[in-house]
Each structure stands twice: as structure tokens, then as C-alpha cells.
A and B are shown apart, each in its own frame.
Chain A
Amino acid sequence: DGGITQSPKYLFRKEGQNVTLSCEQNLNHDAMYWYRQDPGQGLRLIYYSQIVNDFQKGDIAEGYSVSREKKESFPLTVTSAQKNPTAFYLCASKGLGRGNTGELFFGEGSRLTVL
């Protein structure tokens, strides 16, 4: 079945460690996104990519890094520079161009807890 797969579902990290969250999609979507969700707040955009080997910072990119080496994959690294990394992270993808509705398709999320 087509969809977006995020892993791991749950992740614990000690302060000072970098962690990488995986996001893979088989929807043949050009655009991929990473959002952060905190309780009671709207989703905030971290990074997005509309084409392989290119990505742009979102509203809260500091302390995060991404890569887009393949169309299907858009991993997010939470670095030790991120001051408050404990959150729920959502990856999404969207088709671009004619025939696409503009709907964002989300993964199941990854919950990161810093101990």
C-alpha cells in the first residue's frame, strides 16, 4: 500500500546526542515536509523539500538538519543544538503540479523524548 513511513515511533535521547528520524514515502510525491507538534500548538514547519538535493528552512529550523538524496526519503536530524527537542515530529508529503489536490499526507509520527 502507498503511504508514508516514519521510524522510530518512540525515541529517547540523552542531552548532547544527535538523533535521526527516518521518513520514507512511496507515493511518488515531489514535496516532503517535517513538522513539529507541541501540546496545544499548531504544527510548525521545520524544513521542506520540493526536489531531490534541495531543501529550504521552515519557521523553526534552528537545531535541525535534513537531507534529500532520494525522492522517497527525507530524514531529519535533531542535533544537540536544539534547545528543547522533546516533541512529536510529523513527516508529510504532497504531490505537486496538475492533477494533485494539494493534500498533505502525513506519517504516523515520531515521539522524541530527551532525558
Chain B
Amino acid sequence: KNQVEQSPQSLIILEGKNCTLQCNYTVSPFSNLRWYKQDTGRGPVSLTIMTFSENTKSNGRYTATLDADTKQSSLHITASQLSDSASYICVVSAMNNAGNMLTFGGGTRLMVKP
């Protein structure tokens, strides 16, 4: 069964500090992995996409990594800001005969405090 596990479930950090969120998956056959940011009461917005051949990709203060061998991804946030407070969702895509199937992680809820 395809699964995506995220850790930690929740995290509190002080403004200006860095943090790293983890995503482990058992999805096959792997197609790509996306990180989404979801503000409270809003819809998720894509931050970055990682394909099989990519190890690292940055989007401003967000840096995602992918280790396809160990089936792990991380999202590193540098110099956190209050606006980074949100849930971060890891979504892994598998390609099979039925098309592109998505498996969602449960998310990490990040709170940045002043």
C-alpha cells in the first residue's frame, strides 16, 4: 500500500530560526514528490516539485531534498518568518495504468513565534 509519513506532526520555532521537515514514502512506481504549503483555512499551494533525478531544489528560503534510494525527502526553511506558520504537506505521485495517482502525507503543522 502506498503511504506517505511526515514528521514531526507539529513544530514550534522562534522567528529567524531554521527548521527541517521530513517526508518518508513507500510509493511505487515513483513519479515525483511535491511539497505544498497550506495556510489555516485555505487551500494548499505548491512550493516545489522533485523528480527522480533531482537531489535538491530551492524556492527562496525553502529548500527541498530528495533521496530516491531511501525514499526520503526533507523541506528546510531558512530564517523563518511569522508568515511561514502553516501546514506543510508532502504529496507523492505514482504513475500506473490508471494514470497519475497521488498519496498525501498528514502534514506538519509549523508555528513560528516572535
Residues in A whose Cβ lies below 8 Å from that of B46: 103-104
B76 at the interface (CB under 8 A from A): no
B55 at the interface (CB under 8 A from A): no
**Cβ of B43 and Cβ of A90 under 8 Å apart?**
yes
Give the residue name and chain of the B residue nearest to A44 (CB): B104
Distance between Cα atoms of A6 and B43 in the complex (Å)? 10
**Cβ of B107 and Cβ of A42 under 8 Å apart?**
yes
Partner of A111, one of B4, B34, B41, B89: B41
**Cβ of B44 and Cβ of A106 under 8 Å apart?**
yes
Distance between Cα atoms of A2 and B104 in the complex (Å)? 25
A99 at the interface (CB under 8 A from B): no
Per the 8 Å Cβ criterion, residues 3-41 of A in contact with B are 4, 6, 40-41
Question: Separation in Å of the A115 CB from the closest CB of chain B?
Answer: 20
Report which B residues bind A (CB closer than 8 A). Answer: 4, 9, 31-32, 34, 41-46, 49, 89, 91, 93, 99-100, 102-107
Please list 6 pairs of residues, one from A and one from B, whose beta carbons are closer than 8 Å in the complex, sorted by A's number: A42-B4, A42-B105, A102-B32, A104-B91, A106-B44, A109-B42
